[in-house]
Amino acid sequence: MSETLLRVRGVEKSFGGVVANRDISLNVADGEIVGLIGPNGSGKTTLFSSIVGYHPVDAGSIVFGNKEITRLRVPQIARLGLHRTFQQTRIFTGMSCVQNMQISAPLVQGKGPVSLFAPFPVEATEKLEYLLAFVGLYEKRFLRGGELSFGQQKLLEFAMAMMSGPRLLLLDEPTAGVNPTLIDYIVNRLRTANDEFGITLLVIEHNMHVIMTLAQRIYCLAHGHMLAEGSPQDIQDNPQVVDAYLGAT
């Protein structure tokens, strides 16, 4: 068993009276692909936001590598190699794919206002072109983000997240709203990023076929608490999970 890369212990998060996450614990080992499922509103996106430092948690601890990151904010956590993508993508639709990649480069991040007119380092240009080719967008690199299909925008966001050489990526519904042929391609790219670049993945996914074939282990949330954890087969056979999806719990 490889070492634990992400360790979440007893995390709690409420918004006013709504308890979005209640006593959540999970582990992700270095090199794994782990799934996070659960009905709408069960607290999946909130947990991602807590892990990456988007908002402070009310209780609990989050450790990445050997570092306590519970009280750190997004830029500090990103510099350690932990990034997330969004359910609704956060690309810049008025900028080209290349420009979107440029502003995602670690040299530019966190260094004040971005100048798109300053010369861009050659190595970073090679890297961004390589990554755009990796996600099948090289030929479209001068198109604006807004000219891409929704699935292609998700691929661009994935490539942007890879610009800084992450160790762990949290992907929020990478195939939601994407047409079926592109879903297979996205799954293939995620698996290849894991196999070939060694990027560990924690993936929220609603498409059961996708998550059952992609993930090695799966956690299931319901009403803000951890309902079940296990292999894809365990999860599929778990009556509580089935009930949660049918709205019976």
Binding site for ligand ADP (CB under 6 A): 15, 18, 20, 38, 40-46
Can you tell me the distance from the alpha carbon of 156 to that of 161, in angstroms, rounded to the nearest whole number? 9
CB of 234 to Mg ion, least distance (A): 23
Can you tell me the distance from the alpha carbon of 164 to that of 104, in angstroms, rounded to the nearest whole number? 7
CA nearest 13: which of 36, 47, 40? Answer: 47
How would you classify the pairing of strands 59-64 and 18-29? Answer: unpaired
b/e per residue 218-246 (b: at least 16 CB within 10 A): bbbbbebebbbbeebeebeebeebeebee
Indicate which of ligand ADP, Mg ion, none lies near residue 38 (CB less than 5 to 8 Å, by partner kind). Answer: ligand ADP
If the CB atoms of residues 124 and 176 are measured against Mg ion, the closer one turns out to be 176
CA nearest 49: which of 77, 27, 68, 26? Answer: 77
Indicate which of ligand ADP, Mg ion, none lies near residue 18 (CB less than 5 to 8 Å, by partner kind). Answer: ligand ADP
CB of 43 to ligand ADP, least distance (A): 4
Neighbours of 140 (CB within 10 A): 16
Can you tell me the distance from the alpha carbon of 136 to that of 41, in angstroms, rounded to the nearest whole number? 33
CB of 36 to Mg ion, least distance (A): 10
CB of 22 to ligand ADP, least distance (A): 11
Indicate which of Mg ion, ligand ADP, none lies near residue 15 (CB less than 5 to 8 Å, by partner kind). Answer: ligand ADP
What separation in angstroms does the CA of 63 have from each of 66, 83, 91, 148?
Answer: 6, 14, 28, 36
Reading the block at residue 57, the tokens are 């948690």
Q: Which residue is nearest to Mg ion (CB)?
A: 45
CB of 20 to ligand ADP, least distance (A): 3
If the CB atoms of residues 45 and 102 are measured against ligand ADP, the closer one turns out to be 45
If the CB atoms of residues 17 and 239 are measured against ligand ADP, the closer one turns out to be 17
If the CB atoms of residues 30 and 229 are measured against ligand ADP, the closer one turns out to be 229
Indicate which of ligand ADP, Mg ion, none lies near residue 200 (CB less than 5 to 8 Å, by partner kind). Answer: none
If the CB atoms of residues 44 and 167 are measured against ligand ADP, the closer one turns out to be 44
If the CB atoms of residues 19 and 98 are measured against ligand ADP, the closer one turns out to be 19
CA nearest 10: which of 51, 55, 50, 60? Answer: 60
Indicate which of ligand ADP, Mg ion, none lies near residue 60 (CB less than 5 to 8 Å, by partner kind). Answer: none
With tokens 């074939």, the residue in question is 213
| Residues at the contact surface with Mg ion, assessed by CB under 5 A | 45
Neighbours of 125 (CB within 10 A): 15
CB of 227 to ligand ADP, least distance (A): 12
